[in-house]
Amino acid sequence: MRKALHFFSLSLAIYAVSIGPAQASDAEAIEVGRCSVPDAAPVFDRRSGSLPGKWAIESKGEASKSMLPALMVDGWKPEPASADVMLGQLMEEAGLAYSGPAGLPAATWDGKVSALHDVVDTIVSGVGGDWSFDGKTLHVFASPLPSNATATFPLPADRDQRLATIDMLRAFDLSVTVENGQLAVSGSQKELTEARKSLSEARDLRVFDVVFLRGRPTAGRYNWSELGAIRETAQGAGGRFVFSDEDLSDFITRMERAGDLVEDSAQSVAAPQGWQLSVPAVQCGSGSAEVLVGLDETGGNSKLTVSGQAGISEFEGFTFGTTALSVATEPSDGWISMVAVRPRVVNFAGI
């Protein structure tokens, strides 16, 4: 199952001119360029290539679930029985062998016409087990199998495509490691197959450049209009604000003039349109904050959502080419926490 559901997407790019860059603590984030947020980047860009979606999956278990014969089960409506008895009967009728523990929990099958693979998977998963097939014998296990499939392939040369590849794979509960430009992935056969399919079907990306900031205004409160906000919903010390800056160094400079400003973390995340992504500050800097960012582009009225310790900030009618700022409504230890987000779009040429 994916940890992050298909839902939204985002990005931004901001860098403080005189704010010291946050110290990244994640070696992988440095290697793949996640922490190298550009001062400015095209809001709409077109790149050659695509996400890697043609890598081979190596099965490490006894067998692969994809090897069951392509048979349809029609007219089979057994009496309720333990799953091992039921599956043993099904394999006998299919001319195959069965191997598994006795005394599995009771199972049922409603007799609908289905592929053999689907019947087996439904019955076994219904009793909390797992299964594999070696070409002759269906092997059933009382509990889920450990990770049993791996894949290794080169990371894309393009930074945004690299980040999207990693972020999408991790959303499928896969173990992902990066070393010397190679990506090693492990998990179940099903998870790897689904992740590879999503990568191969991606036609564009939403890149979210996200900056975690803390401010201490000289006047005690920020005047958001003077700082250049073109839309504002103030609440307490903060609220939701939208700025027209595409190069966020201009925005940062104005914030610095209004008081002390610290950049805790700056990083990018990426995925196809419709995905929600997690952004932990510690990946590229300090702090324990984590936000979820997403952009719902359905219905012709885009809504950017930033969820985290400061609550949920929803920016209705969000337009590309602007920057959203979610600001905590109350200071903490004298500092006001902020998260700046600017989405951009990457389309793949030739797709």
Would you state the pLDDT for residue 99? 94
Would you state the pLDDT for residue 347? 95
Would you state the pLDDT for residue 323? 93
- pLDDT tens digits, one per residue of 314-337: 999 999 999 999 999 999 999 999
307: tokens are 């969820």
303: tokens are 């809504």
pTM comes to 0.73
Residues belonging to the chain: 351
Helix or strand (DSSP H, E) at 175: strand 175-179
Would you state the pLDDT for residue 147? 64
**Span between the terminal Cα atoms of the chain, in Å:** 28
Would you state the pLDDT for residue 6? 31
Domains parsed from the chain with CATH numbers: 27-50+203-348 (no CATH), 65-141 (3.55.50), 150-201 (3.30.70)
Would you state the pLDDT for residue 311? 83
Give me the residues of the chain with pLDDT under 50, please: 1-22, 62
Would you state the pLDDT for residue 351? 54
CA distances (Å), origin 171, targets 42, 123, 167, 186, 203: 26, 26, 6, 13, 18
